[in-house]
Amino acid sequence: MNVHPAKAEIRFRNQSQIHDLVRDALREGLRSAGMPEHHASASGLRAERVSEAVTHYLDGRHASGSIPEIPPKTPHSTIFSGRRKTTFTSRPIQPDFSSLQTSFTGYSPLDLPAGEEMLIPLAQVHHSFIIAQSRDGMALVDQHAAHERVLFENLQDMHRAGNIHVQDLLIPEQVDLGPAEGELLSDYLPEMQKLGLLVEHFGGSTFIIKAVPALIVGGDYKRLLIDILDEITVHGTSEKVEELRDTILSTMACHPAIKVNRSLASREMEALLHDLFSCRMPHTCPHGRPTVVRYSMDDIRKMFKRA
pLDDT in tens, 6-36: 555 566 666 666 767 777 777 777 777 666 5
Alpha carbons 152 and 284: distance in angstroms, whole number? 11
pLDDT at 86 over 90: no
pTM of the model: 0.61
Of the chain, the percentage scoring pLDDT greater than 90 comes to: 45
Residue 285 pLDDT class (50, 70, 90 cuts): very high
What is the arithmetic mean of pLDDT over 96-120? 47
Highest mean pLDDT among 67-71, 105-109, 243-247, 250-254: 250-254
pLDDT attached to residue 30: 72
The DSSP bridge partners found for residue 133 are: 120, 138
Helices (H), 142-296: 143-160, 179-194, 221-235, 245-254, 266-276
| Residues 30, 31, 33: CA angle, nearest 5 degrees | 65
pLDDT attached to residue 100: 31
pLDDT attached to residue 76: 37
pLDDT at 167 over 50: yes
| 305 φψ region: left (φ > 0), alpha (ψ -120 to 50), beta (else) | left
pLDDT attached to residue 117: 63
What is the arithmetic mean of pLDDT over 49-73? 52
R_g over Cα of the chain: 36
What is the arithmetic mean of pLDDT over 80-87? 36
> For 181-227, what is each residue's pLDDT tens digit?
999 999 889 888 988 999 999 989 999 999 999 988 888 899 999 99
| Residues 271, 290, 127: CA angle, nearest 5 degrees | 50
Average pLDDT of the residues of the chain: 76
Residue ranges of domains in the chain, CATH in brackets: 1-74 (no CATH), 95-307 (3.30.1540.20)
pLDDT at 99 over 70: no
pLDDT at 94 over 60: no
Asked whether 139 and 295 are in contact (CB, 8 A), the reply is yes
Alpha carbons 72 and 69: distance in angstroms, whole number? 9
| Residue 140 φ/ψ, nearest 5 degrees | -110, 130
Residue 53 pLDDT class (50, 70, 90 cuts): low
pLDDT attached to residue 1: 55
Helix (H, G, I), strand (E, B) or coil at 8: coil
pLDDT attached to residue 304: 95
* DSSP states of 102-156: HHHSSSPPP-PPTTSPPEEEEEEETTTEEEEEETTEEEEEEHHHHHHHHHHHHHH
Helix (H) or strand (E) holding 199: strand 198-203
| 173 φψ region: left (φ > 0), alpha (ψ -120 to 50), beta (else) | beta
| Residues 44, 46, 51: CA angle, nearest 5 degrees | 100
Helix (H, G, I), strand (E, B) or coil at 101: helix
Tell me which amino acid residue 86 is.
T
pLDDT attached to residue 106: 40
Of the chain, the percentage scoring pLDDT greater than 70 comes to: 64
Interhelix angle 143-160/266-276, nearest 10 degrees: 50
pLDDT attached to residue 137: 93
